[in-house]
Amino acid sequence: MLVAERQRKIVELVNDRLSIRVSELSKIFSVTEETIRRDLEKLEKENLLMRSHGGAVSVEKDQSEPSYLEREITNVGEKKAIAVEAVQLIEPGDQIILDASSTAWYVAKELPDIPLTVVTNSIKVAIELSKKEQIKVISTGGQLLSSSLSYVGPLAERSLSFYHVNKAFLSCKGVHLENGLSDSNELQALLKGKMMETADKTILMVDSSKFGTRAFSQIASLSNVDSIITDSKIAKNTKKQLEENKIKLKIVN
């Protein structure tokens, strides 16, 4: 099979399945994984697909923000464990930011009723925290995204400029060692960047599936993250690279 034909068929497969692994493509076309990686690199440069950790994902389908319900049932065990660990970093009297991720909602559920100020763009986080009398909740306001029950846009970004917090607890769609943090929704990505600027420290809460992935909209460089909480399925080479970049890493079971 000619190289051009193989690459055309790779694009067709990726668009049909939405995502596919390098190892599977290697078997389908009876070529080495290194050959497939070169194919994917070329096709990504041509904007025909997007490489991810161990494979590729389609850029043809709608890459908009997944619904809250969809995110709420994805990697639940890992997200809950990460949230429990994140709560250990929150002290009485702190001022913190919680984004609109499902992991942040688990943090809100786990938080004890202690004196605390929480700035959030999430309706679900705000509702969860409203049950706790000692926690002061500040909503960013802004344009409502019904898919994620969150506020975004210029008003939400501007409201953050009025505040300064100790810690921002964020999640995102992709964590790439060279290209940094990214999200599928441009407005969410812009707001998360502002959240990081508002905080003394940024704690990234991501399950291991997010590493090596690049989503549509850039948030910030990985160097802007102070620590990462993730699960034990993180690849050894990823763990090593993060440690080499002096990023604090907490791994939960």
State the pTM of this model. Answer: 0.72
pLDDT, residue 62, reads 46
Query: Are 31 and 89 part of one and the same domain?
Result: no
Query: Are 13 and 102 part of one and the same domain?
Result: no
Q: Which of 217, 206, 210 is nearest to 176 (CA)?
A: 210
Query: Are 146 and 231 part of one and the same domain?
Result: yes
What are the pLDDT digits (tens) for 33-48? 999 999 999 998 888 8
Query: Are 46 and 138 part of one and the same domain?
Result: no
Does residue 202 belong to any structural domain of this protein?
yes
What is the 8-class DSSP label of residue 64?
S
Only one residue has tokens 């994620």, namely 148
Q: Which of 151, 147, 153, 154 is nearest to 138 (CA)?
A: 151
Does residue 63 belong to any structural domain of this protein?
no
Query: Are 113 and 199 part of one and the same domain?
Result: yes
Total domains present in the chain? 2
Query: Are 76 and 171 part of one and the same domain?
Result: yes
Query: Are 40 and 140 part of one and the same domain?
Result: no
Query: Are 53 and 124 part of one and the same domain?
Result: no
Query: Are 148 and 169 part of one and the same domain?
Result: yes
pLDDT, residue 14, reads 85
CATH number at residue 50: 1.10.10.10
Query: Are 32 and 103 part of one and the same domain?
Result: no
Does residue 62 belong to any structural domain of this protein?
no
What are the pLDDT digits (tens) for 105-126? 999 999 999 999 999 999 999 9
Domain coverage including residue 105: 68-252
Residues of the chain with pLDDT under 50: 61-63
CATH number at residue 244: 3.40.50.1360
